[in-house]
A and B are shown apart, each in its own frame.
Chain A
Amino acid sequence: MASIREQFEIPAKMKTWAYGLIGAGVLAFILGLFTKEHNEFIGTIMYNSLYWMLICNASMFFICATTLAMGGWQVAFRRVPEAISKMVLIFGPIAFLVLIYIVFVDHNHHIYHWLSDEAKEDPILKGKLGFLNPVFFLVWTVLAIGLWALLGARMRKLSAEADDAALRGEEPGKSFIWRNTVTASLFIVWFALTVGSTVPWLWMMSIDAHWYSTMYSWYTFASSFVSGMSLIALFVIYLKNKGYLEYTNQEHLHDIGKFMFAFSIFWTYLWFSQYMLIWYANIPEETVYFKHRVQGPYKGIFFLNLIINFVCPILILMTRSAKRNYTLITFMAVMIIFGHWIDFYQMIMGSIRKDDAALSWFDFGIAAFFIGMIILFTGKALASRPLVPKYHPFLKESIIHHT
């Protein structure tokens, strides 16, 4: 009976890549600081930090949602989303600093129009200042990121108990499941109050300070969740290729693939609902959001977004064999992460720079920094404890999982 490789050791190549990407990112940052226009510079850093933080946080949402659904199938690779969700501890503060810089230091009313003095006289904006003001912004941002990090850490701490043989048996098992359920539901409730509603309004929708759409937050959630699933898929496949995660196989990959497929369609559904309703009702205050995106400089990116995030997943991931194919899932996961990064680009930059859409070396450079960080720190988090929660009560179900 061969024993499993439960301790991940970071390969040198992984470190090299991570440092390389981070280095490229830092270089891009320095070059951008001197060559890029200020708003483009800060906007690019802003959408990247929000996007990468949200997709890492989506891992914790995945863990909590499956915990509440009493899922057993995901236990074999559960440590992977746990490790990814740890990124919130790093990306959270980064995003926080960026936002606080914009609001308090830079006082950038080009990005957040509600910061300007005109806003106090604007008949619409002045009514919104109860929500859109620096103090509330600060408090809510601290609470949002802080509680994601805190509750996430609690979930990870609970998970550590599954490395201990004391969890065997009925009573400890039941209590373990119960405590997981409680923390998971707290996280989900907080997630609904932040990602599912207020936070995308505050951080992103308020860039178009006059404009509003009730769908906006759920749309943002769908976008970040489907890319979060793709990120999980990438790490699972990486570990499989390195010979880890012996209990995870095609069956699990198939189910991850189903999530990627289903939530791509769900994202499209929300996209269509929001777009079609605004197009159909044709109210000028609302269509202003789409005007330059569909007919102006963002046209190409707008349709590219739809092709990458809808047409490709639905056609490529539809079949059973595609969802069980490591290469194809890797390809699609990269594609989806890129696609929704584009989506965040057009959501944020499309509002900050309405007359000019140019994805440049700078966007990719900043993205490289965040990707490098994910590789480096997720790798460290993976190496910091066993890859399989050996005594998790549902592990055996996960081992024999079949679709």
Chain B
Amino acid sequence: MAFGQKFKLINMAKKTFVVGCFDDEEVLFPAVKKTRLAGYKIHDIYTPFPVHGLDHAMGLRETSLHTAGFIYALCGTSTALGSISWILTKDWPLNFGGKPHFALPAWIPITFELTVLFSAVGMVLSFCYLCQMAPFVKKHHFHERATDDLFVMVIETTGKTNIDELKGFLSNNGAKEVNVQVAEPGWWLGRYDKDQELIREQVEVA
């Protein structure tokens, strides 16, 4: 429980999930639609490659990561222009080749580079933060072939869910493999070559 004490971060309870694995995205799409119509809550779908339109099918909202990127870019631009103009006109003005102290054309290259740098670094860090990704981060994987050739739809259950019915529903809609897993939905620090969990005791499922 060493990790548990230190990182009480996300979900402190395990949940029960019904997992349906599809081997073809063309079967997956209608299944997603029907699952949502039937009122089940899709926890997530894990796919080996980006499947276009799946986010819309699941009803996810658009990401605003690129807007963040634009804001970081503006920070880079203003940092560069602000610092250079302060340094070369106020802090220590020097005559370089007879050019005016405020030599704007000569600052464009660095300004551009810092714009790109801030934007790229900021976006990658935001991406890692939003997706909760970092070295040594571990998450529960519902199927190890989700990064190979399976499209894994994970449905979150509540106390009222009829699990057997749901399993049948998934099979009828083309899932090649259906199972039930009790798992932590969040992340914890751990190693992939060891079985480690954040919460060891089984949570009672009513």
Contact = CB atoms under 8 A, between A and B. Distances in A.
In-complex A–B contact (CB below 8 Å) = yes
Interface of A: 272, 275-276, 279-280, 282, 318, 402
Nearest to B98: A282
A276 B106 CA distance: 7
B105 A280 contact: yes
A268 to B, nearest CB: 10
Contacts of B98: 282
Interface pairs A-B: 7 shortest CB-CB: A276-B105, A279-B105, A272-B108, A280-B106, A275-B105, A276-B108, A280-B105
Nearest to B67: A319
Given A276-B106, A276-B108, A402-B52, 11 more contacts: A272-B105, A272-B108, A275-B105, A276-B105, A279-B105, A280-B99, A280-B105, A280-B106, A282-B97, A282-B98, A318-B70
Contacts, number: 14
Contacts of A279: 105
A199 to B, nearest CB: 29
Interface of B: 52, 70, 97-99, 105-106, 108
A274 to B, nearest CB: 11
A281 to B, nearest CB: 10
Interface of A: prevailing SS: helix
Contacts of B97: 282
A318 B98 CA distance: 37
A318 to B, nearest CB: 8
Contacts of A280: 99, 105-106
A279 B98 CA distance: 11
A279 B52 CA distance: 48
Contacts of B108: 272, 276
A30 to B, nearest CB: 44
Contacts of B105: 272, 275-276, 279-280
A280 B104 CA distance: 11
B96 to A, nearest CB: 10
14 contacts: A272-B105, A272-B108, A275-B105, A276-B105, A276-B106, A276-B108, A279-B105, A280-B99, A280-B105, A280-B106, A282-B97, A282-B98, A318-B70, A402-B52
A146 to B, nearest CB: 41
B198 to A, nearest CB: 39
A24 B52 CA distance: 52
B109 to A, nearest CB: 9
Contacts of A282: 97-98
A219 B70 CA distance: 28
A280 to B, nearest CB: 7
A289 to B, nearest CB: 15
A385 to B, nearest CB: 35
B179 to A, nearest CB: 35
Contacts of B106: 276, 280
Contacts of B99: 280
B201 to A, nearest CB: 48
A257 to B, nearest CB: 16
A305 to B, nearest CB: 16
B110 to A, nearest CB: 13
B21 to A, nearest CB: 28
A189 B78 CA distance: 43
Contacts of A272: 105, 108
Nearest to A279: B105
Nearest to A275: B105
A279 B106 CA distance: 9
A112 to B, nearest CB: 31
A279 B105 CA distance: 8
B117 to A, nearest CB: 18
A284 B187 CA distance: 65
B132 to A, nearest CB: 26
Nearest to B109: A276
A279 B103 CA distance: 10
Nearest to B70: A318
B57 to A, nearest CB: 15
A402 B56 CA distance: 15
A261 to B, nearest CB: 14
